[in-house]
Structure 1
Amino acid sequence: MIDNRWLAYMLATDRRTMQPVTENLSYSAERLTQVWPTRFATIASAKPFARNPCKLANKVYGGRMGNTAPDDGWLYRGRGLPQITGKQNYEKFGIADAPEKAAEMPMAIRILFDGMIGGIFTGKKLADYFNQVDNDLVGARRIISTDKAKPIAG
């Protein structure tokens, strides 16, 4: 049985357009220092990656989340409704060989539901935060990651 709070939280997770999107990563050098301050401490360090989405994706996503090949950061950049990123996450949903499927509506919906209800993203699931005892809007962000918990709770 699906709790209405689960549906509300899933809809709030994709608070943009309710359409799957592909991360474009076309940032200015200034914006890179804001989005990834530990990777780009200065504008000078960000300039080589500014407005270069492929190079940026390989820098920020390469060598982690199962990305091991030289262009895996770009190939497995964020796509879908909840924006899965990294080869490991694409493998969890059986689409590592066709990552573009994450941006197709049927797969994007499956990823959203299975990931949040089944705990596929982090091992945490909606039932851990919304049940007969708990109604934890902020903590539920741990289902996907730890960022943006307060805006989604709102």
Structure 2
Amino acid sequence: MPEFMKFDHTRFFDLYRKEYGKLTQAKVSGVENLLIYIERDLEVNDARWAAYMMATVKHECADAFLPIDEFGKGAGKPYGKKVRAACADGKEYFNAYYGRGYVQLTWQNNYRKLSKALDLGDSLVCHPERAKEPEIAYNIMSYGMRKGSFTGKKLSDYIHGDVCDYKNARRIINKLDRWEVIKDYAEKFESFFTLSRIS
């Protein structure tokens, strides 16, 4: 039966600082939030999954560990244009569905799909900025990476049992773009999680 993972947060931060140096208070808060969400997530009970998720956030959010808007907000890209959204509240919205959150969710259909999957109704379609709320951003990342919502590839395709392919796990988000950097982050986060795990 799956069990929640628990970590010694002080130990985790000590290991992180030893590897990457001083953290700003904003980064401390961001990492702390992610640790709490991971500990509450019964579907994430492999430290390597947690490590790859943290590595993805470190890369996709420019080392901020906070949900962000895509740089340029989709300017010049098809998904950066405002499109109509009819919502259950009877109002009509015109939103641009550029990358937001921890994993840079894009396109209206993906906002709609994740909104439904997370029991948020049409909230993410009508109010796409909600994808940057930390807990929602985490749930988008966790569900999407576990279920293959972004590219059809999922965590269990690359990390299971004795298999741990951090290189090809990048396909979960974005083909093999910058896989070397993210693999290095993931290996370090795996060490941090392993050494700080208490249950």
Residue-by-residue CA offset, 1:21-55 (whole Å, 9 max, x unaligned): 11241xxxxxxxxxxxxxxxxxxxxxxxxxxx6xx
Q: Return the alpha-carbon distance in structure 2 between the equivalents of residues 61 and 152 of structure 1.
A: 27
- Give the number of the structure whose residues are more often strand, by fraction: 2
Offset, 1:83 = 0.9
Offset, 1:82 = 0.8
Q: Secondary structure of 2:77's match?
A: helix
> 2:156 matched to which residue of 1?
127
Q: Return the alpha-carbon distance in structure 2 between the equivalents of residues 124 and 23 of structure 1.
A: 22
Offset, 1:20 = 0.5
Q: Using structure 1 for the length normalisation, give the TM-score.
A: 0.69
Which aligned pairs between 1:134-145 and structure 2 lie closer than 5 A? 134-145=163-174
Offset, 1:148 = 2.0
Structure 1: segments with no counterpart, 5+ residues:
26-52
CA RMSD between the two structures: 2.1
Equivalent of 1:89 in 110, 128, 132: 110
Q: Does 1:80 align with 2:80?
A: no
Q: Does 1:19 align with 2:19?
A: no
- Give the number of the structure whose residues are more often helix, by fraction: 2
Runs of 4+ in 1 over 4 A off after TM superposition: none
Q: Return the alpha-carbon distance in structure 2 between the equivalents of residues 77 and 13 of structure 1.
A: 18
Offset, 1:89 = 1.6
Which aligned pairs between 1:1-150 and structure 2 lie closer than 5 A? 1=2, 2-15=45-58, 16-25=63-72, 57=75, 59-62=76-79, 71-72=82-83, 75-94=96-115, 95-146=124-175, 147-150=177-180
Tell which has more relative contact order, 1 or 2 (C-alpha 8 A, sep 6+). Answer: 2
